[in-house]
Structure 1
Amino acid sequence: MKVNRAANPEANMHTSGSVSFVTHQSRLEKELKWPPTFQEAFDKTHKKNGTDQYISDRAREVAESYSQQMTEKYAGEEEQPQLDPEVWVAASGAPKKGHVYGFGHSMDTSRVFSGASSSTSHTSAFSTQAGAPSTSPSEVMGFIADTISSLESRLAQTMETRMVQTLETRLV
């Protein structure tokens, strides 16, 4: 594990310390007086404290790419969603080992995002407008956790069914 971290030091960099991303979002919401977008929360945890400088080239590149793609995708619309998972994955790269850059390792969001490209139902909860009082960061995180749990259950059932089918095929 230490060898992997040493080989790619930027992969584990953020300014949030041991404070969870949800806690940072909550604090940022109090500071801004509105629910922060994912971009705002990412900036808060990936910029050097007290400056406008990103902690790594990758953080800067991902943030700039995401911002540009969001502007292009939602040009002409009054408001943008707090998070567009498809745009984030396009900007940050595909999930690696079950993790999406910028989400930390506390959440396995790869299944949420892999399903988002084929189904609008996964992205609908992320499509609440910035500043909308009905969606807080904790509600979005709750949706993600519920979706992951549901997908894990479906995956376990599918794996069990396939294992039984494989065993039956070998016995015949």
Structure 2
Amino acid sequence: MAPNRSWMSRRQDYTGHLSEKFKKGVVEFIDFVERNPTVIDSLGRILCPCTKCNNRLTDEIFWVEKHLCDHGFMEGFLEKHEFASNYDKAMAKIVWNRTMLDRYRDILKRARKRAFKEANSTSIADIKGYGSKAMKVDVWNGLVDHWLDSKWKNKSVASQKNRAATPAHKLHTAGPISFGLLANTREERKLIYDDVHKKKSGEYVSEVSKEIIDLYDEEISQKYGEDLLDQPEVDHDVWTEVAGTNKKGQVHGLGRNLDIDIHDHRNVPLPEDTGVSTVKPVSQADITEAIKEALPNAINAMLPSVVNEAIQSNLLSLLSKILGFSQEKDH
């Protein structure tokens, strides 16, 4: 349930004077606007949603606040804007964190690769000033200093050694894209598993990889019968038993966006909305679906704290749910 916004239509109190609740709400609205530079133009003006300007004219923030107090919000303002509930905010935050957990390191890796090429050097110390155009120079240079630190270098070397020592059946050939995001049906999962665990020659990367998928098919047939219509898209319990987990509790072959169903049964703690006693828990199915929808945009974006205004506009639809307001649905 979204927060109560009834104050927007109650500008005056019973005496005919400006309501204190309305004034407080307008101040909070303006504070939100000032925290979102993507809705402010180069002259420091924003669209004014008062009944006079009707969200068509722009003005300085000070005058927009005065307009709202003098004239109130335009009719239908709430219908054109969506105000996220605390459930939506928590959902958006979870999706953002998990998506960026998957993608941010890959983004930085590609940025370093381009920087090495532009600087015509293989030394990290030489790539200062060669960061992505979407990233502030001081932020990029700060990252370079971080990469030059001995702790980061040691961690990087350790990661390379760990990957080199990883059993062949636990590696796949699909790059950074999650197995869970590629496959939606049982047939697709089988095909994707084969694609990402086979070499170009058509052979599995290891005998164990072949044994896992064969054993899974056998266990599923015994449990549900030979008819594919009676078999589920994926049985997490059977797969976990057959494939096993690593030290971090991740299930081999399912991908991070699927194995959360198995390892994370905790309800997400959500703050309560005003006047609401209970909050709907975030389901894992909702999280997985939301991640699928958010991933295409996230893989081409940076964290909001390190991107310029041009890139920030692409992130507003996702970040707005975390902050509490969103852009107009209709323009």
Tell me if 1:68 matches 2:246. no
Give deviations 1:35-61, integer Å, cap 9, x for gaps: 73423321222122462x211122111
* Distance change (3 Å), C-alpha of 1:72 and 1:78: same
Query: Which of 161, 165, 175 is equivalent to 1:17?
Result: 175
Q: Which residue of 1 aligns with 2:247?
A: 96
* Distance change (3 Å), C-alpha of 1:5 and 1:69: same
Task: Return the letter of the residue paired with 1:88.
Answer: W
- Structure with the bigger RCO (C-alpha within 8 Å, sep 6+) is 2
Contact kept in structure 1, 2:169 and 2:205, CA below 8 Å: no
Tell me if 1:47 matches 2:194. no
Gaps of 5+ in 1: 27-33, 117-124, 126-138, 146-172
Give deviations 1:89-127, integer Å, cap 9, x for gaps: 0110145313110134x4472x522578xxxxxxxx7xx
Q: Distance in 2 between matches of 1:19 and 1:114?
A: 21
Contact kept in structure 1, 2:215 and 2:242, CA below 8 Å: yes
Give deviations 1:67-98, integer Å, cap 9, x for gaps: 11011111165521110000100110145313
Contact kept in structure 1, 2:172 and 2:196, CA below 8 Å: yes
Give deviations 1:121-171, integer Å, cap 9, x for gaps: xxxx7xxxxxxxxxxxxx8942898xxxxxxxxxxxxxxxxxxxxxxxxxx
* Distance change (3 Å), C-alpha of 1:86 and 1:144: farther
Query: Which of 279, 289, 293 is equivalent to 1:142?
Result: 289
**After TM superposition, where is structure 1 displaced by more than 6 Å over at least 4 residues in a row?**
none
Tell me if 1:7 matches 2:165. yes
Contact kept in structure 2, 1:99 and 1:107, CA below 8 Å: no
How big is the alpha-carbon RMSD for the aligned residues of Structure 1 and Structure 2? 3.5
1:36 match: secondary structure: helix
Report sequence identity in percent: 30
Q: Distance in 1 between matches of 2:287 and 2:232?
A: 12
CA displacement at 1:19 relative to structure 2: 3.9
Task: Return the letter of the residue paired with 2:174.
Answer: S
Tell me if 1:113 matches 2:262. yes
* Distance change (3 Å), C-alpha of 1:69 and 1:144: farther
Q: Which residue of 2 aligns with 1:153?
A: none
Q: Rg: which structure is higher? A: 2
* Distance change (3 Å), C-alpha of 1:23 and 1:114: closer
Task: Return the letter of the residue paired with 1:81.
Answer: P
Gaps of 5+ in 2: 1-158, 266-284, 293-331
CA displacement at 1:18 relative to structure 2: 3.7
